[in-house]
Structure 1
């Protein structure tokens, strides 16, 4: 195999500083100039040397995959104990306070400042903060964070390890708006006018009461002031008081998935004519409504939720995902027509939510995957593990659930993208009484009865079993009611939902009673059952297969609001017993963010714009067989109606043996498609001929060009694939021409092997080595293949489908031209 070296040249013009100084009354980026060392709990080794790193940081993704010690549940990447420290100066005056805010640390973190412990935080996904004022010294300060990830199989998917989200250092006056102290809602929002409610908490750390003025101006995207309001407030000594203000604006620009208009509320706290604090809050004006009979409404418009589930890893970057990596992935999902994201199964980062606000995605923010009882991370539904390395958040739930939930809401609640709070994911099977009541457990077959059968037990039998089966320490209905109550104590403007894998029992256990909407997990076969028997409870699919039959079930039922496909993007983990498979290949995009055939199918289903895509396969390997003088048919009749997570095996090339029998599949929303081989028409077919929504032709292979021409509403669209010759060149395509020298900005560089005519070769692979010099660093490489066991955190990769991805990141204070 040929070894190729690619050199990308960059240059640096300015170095970064080593310590952090924080000015008064501001939020400072606290991500740079940390030090880190790792204590490996598996090999019992300890790195005594501190290495300089920047945050966000995920140390697990930097390791090699370990099939011996690692667990497929978490992607065969190990944990350990990570030690972080950072030196900084912060000289507060007598009128100031300081906070440190962590958006997420995975997990079991202990934080100390100047050898004084600030606290611990077990849950790896909820944001948290500390008032560090009393622990500060006048000169140099040192903050230490210890992360205990020795339970390296504590999840059913890859989590990452370390301070993997942003950290901020905030200084304020003693009289100030506390962290997450502003809440903006829009109870009335139409094109004609909008009511904006602004709730601002004011904290007074002085020993005397304060009389203040609170003003808020509303600024639109053009930096034009469109409204303002002023209030006076008396705040007692050492206390916190809320100020509620309401204003109206005319002809607002509504936040919508198609036009995500944003506003900024600029709030000022004024004492004795002096502005002592200014805080900006980005928000959107929009209305949401779910109706049990007619589905979902955004700004009064009935529309289907075209959603995908996403885990929080970003492929080769692990859990420490740069914003621009998410942007590339979300842009591709947007192109399919996707308009909603379910964060599975944990709260999102604020940076991710910022992108959803800006790009127009509705978001279901999910709190927990475990409640009172644990899940076995190695084997779903075979409860319950007490193995040390698999112990997860369930062991902290009783003590921490309320804090984790409320911190998440307080931190996230101004994001207009969030329209649902999910209190849990597939919780039912961890409560044996509820699982047994359904008649499925332990009689559940993922490829058989669960997906395609109505509940074995009648509603009366389910009721009786829930009533008579032995009660346990915890009750699912009582816990659900508690979580919903905590949610609505802080926010009544969004809907409370959960992803129910056994809705037939959840309707009767009290679980569904706690919900505004019940989400069905792979239960589209009982949509009608739920609607007929519980007609007043809105239903939607919250975890569904990325197949046409799932979307058809939504389209056929006005009362189903929409779906979240499992998944939008392939993810690391949930791959026990599958080595060398390191993750789950159910996505529309692969783990490197490359489009898969299912991506193009849903692009045809979710878009009005004409789209067309060609896939091919030998008839031997195809799902279809040739019928004389007719369209190819399924080898197994109606198999498409029960297709599961992974798309059928097809190719993106036109390279076979001469005369070999092939099946050509076209994924398109065009009313009709004509297929050509070397300009010879192979016939025009109509979409109505294909119940499975896939155009099909039986074509004996002949070298040349396969072209498809589609027609939709009089508009023509076409695509083609060609037989390729031997590899002759490499093509490099970057998504940017220049990087910002901020230490965050990233560029994706895609390498493709091509023939002499520049056609992408998808059938041959070679080993590539990248070298990057100057003002950028390598974040990693990948080829998108789930069975590739090559290191992510390196510079060498063997291509897959002739393709590889390199991600680079700017070095702070450098100018980085690309190409």
Structure 2
């Protein structure tokens, strides 16, 4: 199956006029519908003091109320990050002064969750799922007498353990008010594909759905212009059409681009299409769409091909929270995080375990990431959120989407596809995540889970039962109310109904059963969850079915298994970034520390290991640990470092082993030096004394290592290629902190209410060396018109409040997030601790 491009849909928006105060409606002009809201927390399930929300509070959207509270071990639940849910109400007043011959849509990209909508006290509808986009046609419900309207949104997340990770609460994604002529292309009404691509030409197919709400037939012209990324018109077409009164029409248009450029991972160039509806030489509706030309293909023997080039998928799984900001993640926060992953060699994102935001997908399109967009974590049967995979009971506060699945799954799935199908980054639709254990006969058939030891047989052994035994047990074991194969068939059919240009997959935690239960029959690519040990098994038993890793460990052994097998197209590692939640009974662990980046977006040791594996560019990173705490020991005969348990690297699990980034130990104390690098040779020196050059080929775990006695001074690692020095890195023994060094990723911010700057504070000694072995409490002071979003130190075990300007450091550093408002001017930032001060930063907001 060959699949060619998609595009990004940008519906034209005619913004209306609105204000905040219900007693003082005024027309503000073209403005962002995310602005000028009020919020009130009306019920808190008796868990937290709601004093800060007793009255209506002015806010902007996106908004997550849960992250404003303190972490609580007794009154919170680790599954959702020890933060509260509750019930909140949003309201907004706005004016539409002219409703003649217009249609108005209200579009939400995501609300968590169980939301009800009222316009001028009339119920518009209900939406239970927290991740799917949806909209209302509010034309007939607008106040046509005065033009003054009040929108109210009730969000009910009293079931605050309804997920296995942190969800956030509230209107945490963008909201748009879209005004159109009564003859228009409705929301999600354009679908662009490139069914044929060669070096000489690209055929671009544009399907446009039109809606005529006039009581008369309408004649019109549909005009399409294609622009390249330099703004030049490269193709255009037009058609004269007629549409009947009160009717819909689908128009298919085809244009050709000569000598097209392709959307590639290292060059994600996009085209732009402008689709216009014209009557009497006037444009009455105009839609701007960015798109890119690309082809994708999975081969069961050869792996994955992008634009006919063999490409290994170097992917990571990502949950949707952004640490400090909870689920309401500004675009700049995602941009910084994605760029770090890109720098490590990552080229693909699995959005787990739910559809992503449109903004996130825009970034993936622009930055060159492949995306697996996942629909559901639960189907017919619930998961016990407190006892992950050890099902015991499901009480009221842990009831999740399963309650609504039968009624809402089709609508949520189809809304997601319609909203996202134009993104060139999306190459897979995932219909489910680790669904099998909720259908007991699947687990029983394989022999796993009912006798599973997470540190043992599941990860490293083939199923206890043969394929024949599994097949026989699936045929004879008692069936539940629902069948996994039948549900998969239904979900796959809904997906193919709207999009046949991408591959359908799922993350299968029991693939040995899924291949025989009817589940895998509905998948174009079968994803294996933590089952690299089954790659050969799967390929031998089901040779016509492409398989890949869709949830795997951030460890060298996982990538080694992919690298050695051409029929395995790639992997998605768990995870790219630490995420809040899934910390049941593990207080004060608020987050799951399996990522390459921590919750503040700081690089972890595993990041550097993967960077050496996924990049051709050379990389050097050094870590240290006292011998007694290291996973390595000193060989009695050679004195060289060896694993305490031989071959342990082959079965390393989620969390990277404990190492430090400093060179501060007791004099003569034995220390293990670890170097992660893709250089052929690395030499270690301390105070210019060489401790031997070693070769990468001698370390099957790909970790250069030495054991040496600690000497105060400078530790130096030297990367060599063909015996020649290519790169040198050093770390120095540091003294007491004498200063706080502030750095920022922005010296200029936009006065738009969205721009975010990341301010990093690092303890330094008198010589300017970063101090990473001593902690201090830092307080930030910000002078100017910006919002402080919060602070964090990146540790998964830090339960300090996010909504603060003070925080204890971790590894000697911490992070402050600030966001612009709608005012221009300079802001200044400095930091202090009990004994230290910082340099001053100045950021211009323009």
The TM-score, its normalising length taken from structure 1, stands at: 0.96
Distance change in 2, residues 1:62/1:448 (3 Å)? same
- State whether residues 777 and 809 of structure 1, in contact with CA within 8 Å, keep that contact through their aligned partners in structure 2: yes
By how many angstroms is 1:718 displaced? Answer: 2.0
Find the residue that maps to 2:629 and give its secondary structure. Answer: coil
Aligned residue runs from structure 1 range 694-709, under 5 A:
694-709=703-718
1:41 and 2:45 aligned: yes
Match of residue 637, structure 1, among 633, 646, 650: 646
Q: State whether residues 674 and 710 of structure 1, in contact with CA within 8 Å, keep that contact through their aligned partners in structure 2.
A: yes
Equivalent position of 2:735 in the other structure? 725
Matches within 5 A, 1:161-172: 161-172=169-180
Stretch moving more, 147-156 or 275-284: 275-284
Indicate conservation of the 8 Å contact 1:309/1:566, yes or no: yes
Question: Which digits, 9 at most, give the CA deviation of each residue in 1:509-533, with x for residues without a partner?
Answer: 0000000000000000010000000
Partner of 1:287: helix, strand, or coil? strand
- The match for 1:356 is 364
Q: Describe the superposition over 1:541-573 as per-residue Cα deviations: whole angstroms up to 9, x where unpaired.
A: 000000000000000000000000000000000
Shift of 1:186: 1.2
CA drift at 1:795:
1.1
Quote the Cα distance in structure 2 between the aligned partners of 1:593 and 1:712: 31
The answer for the alignment partner of 2:3 in structure 1 is none
Partner of 2:700: 691
Q: Write the deviation string for residues 701-754 of structure 1: whole angstroms up to 9, x where unpaired.
A: 001111111124667122111100111100000000021000000000000110
Q: 1:528 aligns with which of 532, 536, 539?
A: 536
Question: 1:18 offset after TM fit, Å?
Answer: 4.7
SS for the counterpart of 1:285 is strand
* Secondary structure, aligned partner of 1:218: strand
Separation in 2, partners of 1:232, 1:663: 75
Indicate whether 1:130 and 2:136 are aligned: yes
Pick aligned residue for 1:496 from 501, 504, 509: 504
Match of 1:106 among 98, 112, 119: 112
Tell me the equivalent position of 2:819: 809
Q: Report the equivalent of 1:589.
A: 597
Which residue in 2 is equivalent to 1:338?
A: 346
Aligned with 2:767 (options 752, 757, 764): 757
Distance 2:238 2:27 in 1: 30
Shift of 1:308: 0.3
Q: 1:504 to 1:306 in 2, by over 3 A?
A: same
Question: In the superposition, relative to structure 1, how do residues 816 and 497 fare at CA in structure 2: closer, same or farther (>3 Å)?
Answer: farther
Q: Map 1:476-487; keep pairs closer than 5 Å.
A: 476-487=484-495
**2:779 aligned residue:** 769
Asked if 1:71 is matched to 2:80, the reply is no
Give, in whole Å, the separation in 2 of the partners of 1:728 and 1:44.
Answer: 40
Q: Which residue does 1:11 correspond to in 2?
A: none
Corresponding residue number in structure 2 for 1:739: 749
The separation in 2 between residues aligned to 1:768 and 1:118, in whole angstroms, is 48
Are the aligned partners of 2:20 and 2:38 in contact in 1 as well (CA < 8 Å)? no
CA contact (8 A) 1:740 1:816 kept: no
How far apart are 1:23 and its partner, in Å? 9.8
1:748 to 740, 753, 758: 758
SS of the aligned residue for 1:797 comes to strand
Match of 1:184 in 2: 192
**TM-aligned CA deviation for residue 93 of structure 1:** 3.2
- 1:266 to 1:736, Cα distance in 2 relative to 1, 3 A: same
Indicate which of 80, 86, 96 corresponds to 2:86. 80
Of 554-563 and 709-718, more deviation after overlay is shown by 709-718
Within the candidate set 31, 35, 43, 1:32 is matched to 35
Counterpart-to-counterpart distance in 1, 2:237 and 2:721: 51
| 1:344-373 deviation line (CA, Å, top 9, x unaligned) | 000000000010011001000000000000
Where do residues 437-448 of structure 1 align in structure 2 (5 Å cutoff)?
Answer: 437-448=445-456
Q: Contact 2:19–2:26 (CA<8 Å) still a contact in 1? A: no
Q: How far off its partner does 1:337 sit?
A: 0.3
Indicate how the Cα distance of structure 1 residues 816 and 185 shifts in structure 2: closer, same or farther if over 3 A, else same. Answer: farther
Where does structure 2 lack aligned partners over 5 or more consecutive residues?
1-17, 828-840
What is the DSSP-based 3-state SS (H/G/I as helix, E as strand, rest coil) of the residue aligned with 2:646?
coil
Separation in 1 of the partners of 2:130 and 2:823? 31
Separation in structure 1 between the aligned mates of residue 187 and residue 725 of structure 2, nearest angstrom: 53
Would you say the 8 A contact 2:189–2:208 is kept in 1?
yes
2:836 equivalent in structure 1:
none
Show the counterpart of 1:786.
Answer: 796
1:512 aligns with 2:520: yes
Contact 2:352/2:374 (<8 A) preserved: yes
1:200 aligns with 2:208: yes
Asked if 2 retains the 8 angstrom alpha-carbon contact of 1:750 and 1:805, the reply is yes
Q: What is the Cα deviation at residue 91 of structure 1? A: 2.1
Listed one character per residue, the Cα deviations across residues 1-58 of structure 1 (whole Å, up to 9, x for unaligned) are xxxxxxxxxxxxxxx975797899x9x6211110001021224876541010001000
Secondary structure of 2:543 counterpart: coil
For 2:62, the equivalent position in structure 1 comes to 56
Question: What is the SS of the residue equivalent to 1:504?
Answer: helix
| Residues 638-647 or 441-450, more deviating | 441-450
> Which residue is 1:626 aligned to?
634
- Give the paired residue count: 802
Matching of residue 570 in structure 1 with residue 569 in structure 2: no
1:86 Cα deviation from its structure 2 partner: 0.4
Q: Which residue of 2 aligns with 1:5?
A: none
Task: Return 263-272 or 102-111, whichever deviates more.
Answer: 263-272
Q: Per-residue deviation at 1:815?
A: 3.0
Q: Counterparts of 2:611 and 2:49 in 1: how far apart (Å)?
A: 49
**Secondary structure in structure 2 of the residue aligned to 1:100:** strand
Distance 1:313 1:269 in 2: 39
Show the counterpart of 2:8. none
Residue 679 of structure 2 corresponds to 670
In the alignment, the residues of structure 1 paired with residue 135 and residue 395 of structure 2 have an alpha-carbon distance, to the nearest angstrom, of 31
What are the superposed Cα offsets for residues 564-620 of structure 1, whole Å, 9 maximum, x if unpaired? 000000000000110011110000001100000000000000000010100011111
For the residue of structure 1 that corresponds to 2:294, the secondary structure is coil
Structure 1 residues 57, 531: closer, same or farther in 2, change over 3 A?
Answer: same
Secondary structure of the corresponding residue to residue 781 of structure 1: strand
Distance 2:392 2:296 in 1: 39
| TM-score normalised to structure 2 length | 0.93
Unaligned runs of 5+ in 1: 1-15
Q: 1:668 to 1:329 in 2, by over 3 A?
A: same
- CA pair 44-763 structure 1, distance change in 2 beyond 3 A: closer
Q: Which residue of 1 aligns with 2:259?
A: 251
Aligned with residue 559 of structure 1, among 563, 567, 583: 567
Contact 1:385 / 1:391 at 8 angstroms: preserved in 2?
no
Q: For the Cα contact (< 8 Å) 1:102–1:127, is it kept in 2?
A: yes
In the TM superposition, what is the alpha-carbon distance from 1:680 to its structure 2 partner? 1.4
Contact 2:792-2:814 within 8 A present in 1 as well: yes
Cα distance between partner residues in 1 of 2:533 and 2:611? 24
Q: CA deviation at 1:629?
A: 3.7
Aligned partners of 1:440, 1:597: CA distance in 2, in Å? 32
3-state SS of paired residue (2:628): coil
Which of 675-684 and 397-406 deviates more? 675-684
CA contact (8 A) 1:375 1:384 kept: no
8 A Cα contact 2:668 2:710, kept in partner: yes
CA distance in structure 2 between the aligned counterparts of 1:45 and 1:385, rounded to whole angstroms? 29
- Paired residues of 1:741 and 1:816 also in contact (CA < 8 A): no
Q: Check whether the contact 2:167–2:321 (CA below 8 A) recurs between aligned residues.
A: yes
